[in-house]
Amino acid sequence: MGKRAVSVIGLGPMGQAMAEAYLAAGYEVTVWNRTAARAEPLAARGAIVAGTVAEALSAGGPVLLSLIDTDAMYPTLGDADLSGRVLVNLSSDSPEKVRAAARWAAGRGASYLVGAMNIPPSGMGKPESSAFYSGPRELYEALRADLEVLTTPDFRGEEPGLAALYYQLNMVVFWSSMTGWLQAVALAEANGLTAADFLPYATYTADSMRGFMDFYAPRVDAGDHGGEVDRLTMCLASVEHILHTLEDSGNDTSVLAAHAELFRRGVAAGHGADSSTSLVRLLRAPAAA
C-alpha cells in the first residue's frame, strides 16, 4: 500500500507548517507557491515541488489551500481543471466570502471543505490544537484522518460559512483581549512598570473571564439583562476612571474612548439600570453615523 498523498498550495508560515506536519507523518507531499524559493526547505525534507498549480492539483489526495484570504484562491487556481478535485480551503476570511468561494468551487466540479485554524504555525501537528471545519459531512468524514495530522478537527456543520463564523467569533475575543493587554502594558510603562511586573495580574484577570462568560452566557441567551449583579451606569463610571488614568499618564485613549462611547450610548438608550450585557442589543446593529 502506497503512501497517503496531499498537496499544499500556499507556503506562508501556516502552509509550510502544514506541509511539515504531513512530511513528519509519512505522507507524500506536493507543494506549490508563487514564490518558488519558499518550497526549497520542504524539498530538502522530501516534498515534491510542483512547477504549476495544475501539477499540484493532479498529484493525488486532497489539496489544501493556505492563502492570504479566500479572494486569493481565484487567481491562484485560475482556469485549472477542478473537476473531481478535493479542495480544503484553510484561508481565513469572512463567512460570506467563504460561502461564495464554496459555490464557485462547486460550480467548477470540485468537492470543497472549509477549514479555519485556531492556532499559530507552531501549534500545527499537535493533538491539543484545534481547527473548525464546515461543508459536506460525508467529505469531512472521508478526510478526517488526513485533517487529524494537523490538529484535532471540530466539525461545525454542513453550511460552509460556519467554520469561518466560529473562527471570527474567536478572533473578536482574541484581538479585543490582546488590544486590552497592550493598552494596559502601555499604561504600566508610562508609570515606570514593565509588562513582566504586570504579568501575574494580567493572567489572573484573563483567567477570570471564563467565570464571567459562564455566568452571563445563559442569561444573555434568555434575554435576561437584569441589573442585580452589575449596572451599566457603574460600568460606565469604571471605564471613565480608566480614561482619566490614561489621560493623566499621557497615553493614547482611542480604544477606551470607543468603549466609553458605547457605554454612554447604552445609558442614553435607557439601559443604565440594566447589566452591561444589555450592550449586546446595541452591538447587534450598526453604529450610528
Same domain? For 90 and 179 the reply is no
pLDDT for residue 145: 96
Same domain? For 137 and 174 the reply is no
Instruction: Give the residue from 203, 170, 166, 209 showing the smallest Cα distance to 184.
Output: 203
Mean pLDDT of 187-207: 98
Same domain? For 181 and 132 the reply is no
In a domain, 261, yes or no: yes
Last residue of one domain, picked from the residues 108, 137, 159: 159
pLDDT exceeds 70 at position 69 = yes
Same domain? For 270 and 196 the reply is yes
Same domain? For 37 and 131 the reply is yes
In a domain, 289, yes or no: no
Same domain? For 183 and 91 the reply is no
pLDDT exceeds 80 at position 105 = yes
pLDDT for residue 288: 63
C-alpha to C-alpha distance for 96 and 165, rounded to whole angstroms: 9
In a domain, 47, yes or no: yes
Mean pLDDT of 102-122: 95
In which residue are the cell numbers 490544537 written? 129
How many domains are there within the chain? Answer: 2
Mean pLDDT of 89-118: 96
Tell me the CATH number at 97: 3.40.50.720
Same domain? For 151 and 214 the reply is no
Mean pLDDT of 48-72: 95
Same domain? For 212 and 107 the reply is no
Domain span at residue 184?
Answer: 166-283
pLDDT for residue 123: 94
The string of pLDDT tens digits covering residues 139-184 is: 999 999 999 999 999 999 999 999 999 999 999 999 999 999 999 9
Same domain? For 148 and 234 the reply is no
pLDDT for residue 1: 53
If one counts every other C-beta atom within 10 angstroms of the C-beta of residue 105, the result is 23
- pLDDT class of 286 with cuts at 50, 70, 90: confident
pLDDT for residue 3: 84
pTM of the model: 0.92
Same domain? For 71 and 36 the reply is yes
Same domain? For 170 and 155 the reply is no
pLDDT for residue 2: 67
Same domain? For 110 and 172 the reply is no
If one counts every other C-beta atom within 10 angstroms of the C-beta of residue 160, the result is 24
